[in-house]
Amino acid sequence: MAKSRVQFICQNCGTAHARWAGKCDGCGEWNTLVEEGTSSGIGSGPQSLRKARAGRAVALTTLSGDIEDAPRIVTGIGELDRATGGGFVRGSALLVGGDPGIGKSTLLTQAAAALAARGHRIIYVSGEEAVAQIRLRAQRLGVAETPVELAAETNVEDILATIGDGKRPDLVILDSIQTLWTDLAESAPGTVTQVRAAAQAMIRYAKSTGAAIVLVGHVTKEGQIAGPRVVEHMVDGVLYFEGEGGHHYRILRTVKNRFGPTDEIGVFEMGDRGLREVPNPSELFLGERSAAAPGAAVFAGMEGTRPVLVEIQALVAPSPLGTPRRAVVGWDSPRLSMVLAVLEAHCGVRFATHDVYLNVAGGYRISEPAADLAVAAALVSSLTGLALPADCVYFGEISLSGAVRPVAHAGSRLKEAEKLGFGQAVMPPGNEEPAGGISAQAWRPESLADLVARIAG
């Protein structure tokens, strides 16, 4: 029997430390180390005493032919199916992470109801809410009459015994992994050791029975409960459910998918009767747009394979401070500094005595460098007080030398812009020539200086 030993485990990344410390060596987070016994962690204890059993290795070539695409369970909720790459995969484990209160339980209740209505056996295991509470939510969502099976359990062995009864389930939802615990580990529920061991047991169940499982995980900044990051590498797919405070829409973002594309998003709107799909996010993000004002530029962006148009707003104002402020919401702060530096160095635009604020409308987050050109246009427009044409979209990456660089998917970006009634585009030279329509009106500046000259006019 392995000797019981005390370790301090980071609740954020799972790194084990022999001694307590204020800061984790692994991820650099503060106050995340928690004392945990390791005598019966994975791979030690009674399990490691079992007799080895010979497995079977098969040649890869003999597999071809009889295996097609991963067998999927389609929910019919388009935005969810898009994010999972076409539905839940049988025998796989998916992690759905997000801030508390963002709507994870709501999303999965709706998914469970949709699947149950299609004749699948769905079990919703909740460790956070009583069955009556789940039923209340289902009533509010108008899905209380669907044959989803509910269980309020937290012990993994009990859960496996519960779902082992009757017909094999197609999908098991575990809400949330932070409440699960197994007899095999001694630590308290919510610690890294428990979360890992419980997730491991459920994943083993999925692989051996062919049921799909969904693990719900809360994300926290404080190290009090283990972050879902510690199970990210164990599961087949990771989706994050995000939203900005004060806004009603939610984005389901794929960050890992062993069976499909990553970088996909599903867009929803939270209402008083649950989540509603938003099949055309550009309309949502541009919805609040009024007539063209100085400092606003529409960026034709991409999320995975999907074009998304958003408005970028800049405010450049004389600064009373010695060191002017730079504040960014929805974009990269270092990237803004870079665009400002290129504007100063190559285009003769001075921001040194001005505060600069940059905001992506609707609380949306952009991660693409292709937004450089739209950001630069918004900044120059605000500084000069000259509004940009209201029917123009911008996209293109800017290099440190001030050149405008090509980006991927120019065709889809232009098509989306056209669909939403835009008539002009400013885009990189050297991007493939999409035929007809808006591209005939596209202007392709060689350098950022050309764009500045055109705006300042």
The response to whether 119 counts as a known ligand-binding position is no
150-209 binders of Mg ion (CB under 5 A)? none
Report in angstroms how near the CB of residue 244 gets to Mg ion at its nearest: 19
- Based on CB atoms, which residue is closest to Mg ion, 105 or 200? 105
* Binds 103: which of Mg ion, ligand TYD, none (CB < 5-8 Å by kind): ligand TYD
The response to whether 251 counts as a known ligand-binding position is no
The response to whether 101 counts as a known ligand-binding position is yes
- Based on CB atoms, which residue is closest to Mg ion, 105 or 381? 105
What's the CA gap between 138 and 433, in Å, rounded? 50
Report in angstroms how near the CB of residue 247 gets to ligand TYD at its nearest: 12
Report in angstroms how near the CB of residue 129 gets to ligand TYD at its nearest: 8
Report in angstroms how near the CB of residue 103 gets to Mg ion at its nearest: 8
The response to whether 99 counts as a known ligand-binding position is yes
Of the candidate spans 105-113, 244-252, 330-338, 405-413, the one that interacts with Mg ion by CB under 5 A turns out to be 105-113
- Based on CB atoms, which residue is closest to ligand TYD, 277 or 397? 277
* Binds 101: which of Mg ion, ligand TYD, none (CB < 5-8 Å by kind): ligand TYD
What's the CA gap between 427 and 269, in Å, rounded? 31
**Count of residues binding Mg ion (CB under 5 A)?**
1
Closest residue to Mg ion, judged by C-beta, is 105
Does a cis peptide bond (omega within 30 degrees of 0) precede residue 176? yes
Report in angstroms how near the CB of residue 330 gets to Mg ion at its nearest: 26
The response to whether 419 counts as a known ligand-binding position is no
Could you say which of 40, 84, 105, 154 contacts Mg ion (CB under 5 A)? 105
What's the CA gap between 227 and 237, in Å, rounded? 16
- 455 burial level (CB within 10 Å; 0-12, 13-18, 19+): buried
* Binds 287: which of ligand TYD, Mg ion, none (CB < 5-8 Å by kind): none
- Based on CB atoms, which residue is closest to Mg ion, 105 or 187? 105
List residues near ligand TYD by CB under 6 A: 98, 100-106, 137, 140-141, 270, 272-274
The response to whether 103 counts as a known ligand-binding position is yes
- Based on CB atoms, which residue is closest to ligand TYD, 66 or 272? 272
Report in angstroms how near the CB of residue 95 gets to Mg ion at its nearest: 14
Report in angstroms how near the CB of residue 174 gets to ligand TYD at its nearest: 12
Binding residues: 98-105
- The contact set with Mg ion (CB under 5 A) reads 105
Binding residues for ATP: 98-105
